[in-house]
Structure 1
């Protein structure tokens, strides 16, 4: 014991030196990364005021994605493969955009943005169908899957092995046994049980890949997730929206769910499905799955405009951690800036960042009716209090806020002037705009926009109109938590 005493005394006297060096190194690294100043300050506050725990939190959730450069390289390679075909379609795309402009005016600039950034070709004559809640989506999806003859491509954040999950999985196995090419991507963080199950099931004919596998050595990258929910069937039918493959997304009484789940997806049939197919192809090529060629059968000829009977113009906006910009945010900002009469937004998580907050305030101040609907109770207290901190500026400037009470509002929709709609996986938060893999369908279709508007009005009947006076009457401790958690908003 006497031999160790000098060492113990030295440790107790000088333990702070390596901690200072460690803290200085981490904070210097954060500053050198030249992040958004708000996010930089947020991380420094976490590290300083949560000793040791803050460093652990930063290690798992704060470091820049180490695979970003690799994904940027893959994205560039994919773009080069498609460059020639894209250039051949340039005249057709210009004609499509002119047609869209004649219908919706300057809101068509959103489609031009998608074209110029090579996110999606604008397409016409698509048939679109709005699907409210899991009851509608799962019925439609299972029927379409059962009719597949060539290929099924699915990419989901959550795919659970419950009743609905097993029903879908059984259909996929059956179609794969019939010779249909079935490829399934799930996020390894969102669907851990399915990942384990598929790894054990050696006889499965489904071509399966876990996206961004989470291992001990990759824990620092677990903050970046594939949040997309898409399906492409026979290159003709596509699904996108907020509904994952899980019992909880259905309000079927036989499932016995205690919480009413309010969600939205869209079914698309037509040339726009090509863009959804390309999005899946990009994701598949970021896994270890055997590459496949976008040949006949996987794509439809864009000049063949006579097959679909719809009137919808459709494009898809996607982004990932390696994107050149927050494209979903940019497309939304452009649409908000062109609004003339109304904007209706539904989101389960509202942590907008300065750009979106300012755009909504400006729209409301200019006379546009801006309505935002969020859940009365979130599934995350952290997000709940942070979201409420962002409501006061909106309420002060005339934005109407509704708190959905019937259950959990998980829909991610935007309706602008009943002329342009966004339906996808994108929450109105910093994570969706900058961190996750996300996708949204951008649809110009009078009937569907009207349906979204009508559904918004129905949901208002199950909501509470939250006013500025009510916000101000909230207990001081709640408003205090709002302010505290707002500091962490850039990290959520």
Structure 2
């Protein structure tokens, strides 16, 4: 009988585990250098175009004449809405209201320059206070850093300086970093103004902007916005303002207010809702147009279903970096059927839109991240055929001073322009 030998299986010889040594300090240095380089490239590109634009602006200033229209009014329910498209006309109306005030004045502005127009407003407010009118003023400290704080010493006037430095700025904390970008004037609870105009001589004649005046019960919309902001940010040295409430309910005329401290941003929502409803046409005028994905998708969807979508922006604005970031969207918009018009020779600063001859918004918010999800802003949303017709007339007036950018022209722009757009694109979330 054969003998069977059992041979134990052979297993491979186990090696000792290899220990990988990481030079953690070196890796951190490389990561830091990479992050610094990634941030430095778009910043350097932005600095370069800013330097070139400074030279270009010296050679070709934005001071050419542009078409204007006199103030025009229409009735919205029990309120008269007056549209202003020229700064000198607007300032005349605002100063007239201040000088005729009998009880109360609320003024809120982003920029208030110490120049001829700025001093006219200062004098009118001080004189109103001297005759017994209660005057309350809010201005943004950061936007007016170049102006001496002594200019804002207004005898007898309650002044709230929105702080120049916000604690959340470095940490990108939206609740504690937004600027006060609103422009509001309310007189005697009966007359109220809102729109894109700051206060200064430059804006009186050399910038094309849009403001709206409400005369009647709907002025409460802007009064309430001022009172809420004042009571939220006033210090102990400033009085509390009374919230009077309103018996008037007009769903067709409402103020949408962005409030970063409460993470409330309704202006973006009214744009998205209105674009979804569009059936005929969308006319948008913007100083700085850097749409987020949802707003861009809304415009493209409207164009795809046959809506005539037109966006009017300055060919050159006072913020060249914003111009370059906006251009990063042009290819997608033009391919999708959105028509882009470039305003010529002057700065257009309006923040307006009108849709289908029915819906209109006029206010302070740009279509960019800073306005729609960053700053304190206010826009009136009005559903009224008469006001929409006025805004369409204003759009056609501005279009007459614009040139249309075609897809063919845009595709043949200089290769260096394409490189600059790509290099600066990481800055879009900041603007």
Structures share fold, TM-score greater than 0.5: yes
Count of residue pairs brought into register by the alignment: 372
Correspondence 1:235 to 2:189: yes
Whole-angstrom CA distance in 2 between matches of 1:343 and 1:176:
44
Paired residue secondary structure (1:373): strand
Residue 302 in structure 1 maps to residue 247 in structure 2? yes
Unmatched segments (≥5 aa) in structure 2: 1-23, 44-75
Q: CA deviation at 1:339?
A: 1.0
After TM superposition, list the pairs within 5 Å mapping 1:138-287 onto structure 2.
138-192=91-145, 196-198=149-151, 201=153, 204-214=155-165, 220=170, 224-251=178-205, 260-285=206-231, 286-287=233-234
For residues 41 and 398 of structure 2, the distance between their equivalents in structure 1, rounded to whole angstroms, comes to 45
Q: Secondary structure at the residue paired with 1:231?
A: strand
Rounded to whole Å, the distance in 2 between the matches of 1:293 and 1:462 is: 44
Instruction: Identify the residue that residue 354 of structure 1 maps to in structure 2.
Output: 293
Please, which of 88, 98, 112 is the counterpart of residue 135 of structure 1? 88
Q: Given the alignment, which residue of 306, 313, 332 partners 1:374?
A: 313
What's the CA shift string for 1:277-333, capped at 9, x where partnerless? 1211122121315232426xxx47525x9xxxxx99421001022244431111110
Could you tell me which residue of structure 2 aligns to residue 437 of structure 1? 376
Q: What secondary structure is seen at the aligned counterpart in 2 of 1:322?
A: helix
Aligned 8 A contact 2:42 2:426 in 1: no
User: CA offsets per residue over residues 101-153 of structure 1, 9 Å max, x none?
Assistant: xxxxxxxxxxxxxxxxxxxxxx9422100011211210110111111011000
| Distance in 1 between residues matched to 2:113 and 2:394, nearest whole Å | 28
Offset at 1:52? Answer: 12
Indicate if the aligned counterparts of 1:237 and 1:270 stay in contact, CA closer than 8 A.
Answer: yes
1:415–1:48 Cα change, 3 Å: same
Correspondence list, 1:67-86, <5 A: none
Do the aligned residues in 1 keep the contact of 2:142 with 2:164 (CA within 8 Å)?
yes
Q: 1:383 to 1:194 in 2, by over 3 A?
A: closer
The SS at the match of 2:261 is: coil
Q: 2:239 aligns with which of 291, 306, 320?
A: 291
Question: 1:224 deviation in Å?
Answer: 2.5
Distance in 2, Cα, partners of 1:23 & 1:181: 58
| Contact residue 108 and residue 137 of structure 2 kept, 8 A | yes
1:81-96 aligned at under 5 Å gives the runs: none
**Residue segments in structure 1 that go unaligned for 5+ positions in a row:** 1-15, 25-43, 55-122, 252-259, 306-310
CA distance in 1, matches of 2:302, 2:108: 35
Equivalent in the alignment of 1:392? 331
**Shift of the alpha carbon at 1:474?**
0.2
Higher radius of gyration, 1 or 2: 2
Return the alpha-carbon distance in structure 2 between the equivalents of residues 23 and 316 of structure 1: 47
Aligned counterpart, 1:20: 28
Contact kept, 8 Å, 2:145 with 2:164, in 1: the verdict is no
Residue 423 of structure 1: aligned partner: 362
Q: Write the distance in 2 (CA, Å) between the matches of 1:225 and 1:327.
A: 17
The question of whether the paired residues in 1 share the 8 Å contact of 2:197 and 2:210 is answered with: yes
Determine the structure 1 residue equivalent to 2:38: 49
Shift of 1:411: 0.6
Q: Is the 8 A contact 1:133 1:243 kept in 2?
A: no
Matched-pair contact (CA < 8 Å) for 1:228–1:425: yes
RMSD between aligned alpha carbons? 2.9
Distance 2:335 2:297 in 1: 12
SS in 2 for 1:350: coil
Shift of residue 53, structure 1, vs aligned partner: 11
Q: Which residue of 1 aligns with 2:424?
A: 485
Change (3 A) 1:360 1:45: farther
2 CA distance for matches of 1:225 and 1:362? 32
Q: Do residues 363 (structure 1) and 302 (structure 2) align?
A: yes
* Larger CA deviation: 457-466 vs 273-282: 273-282
1:442 CA drift (Å): 1.0
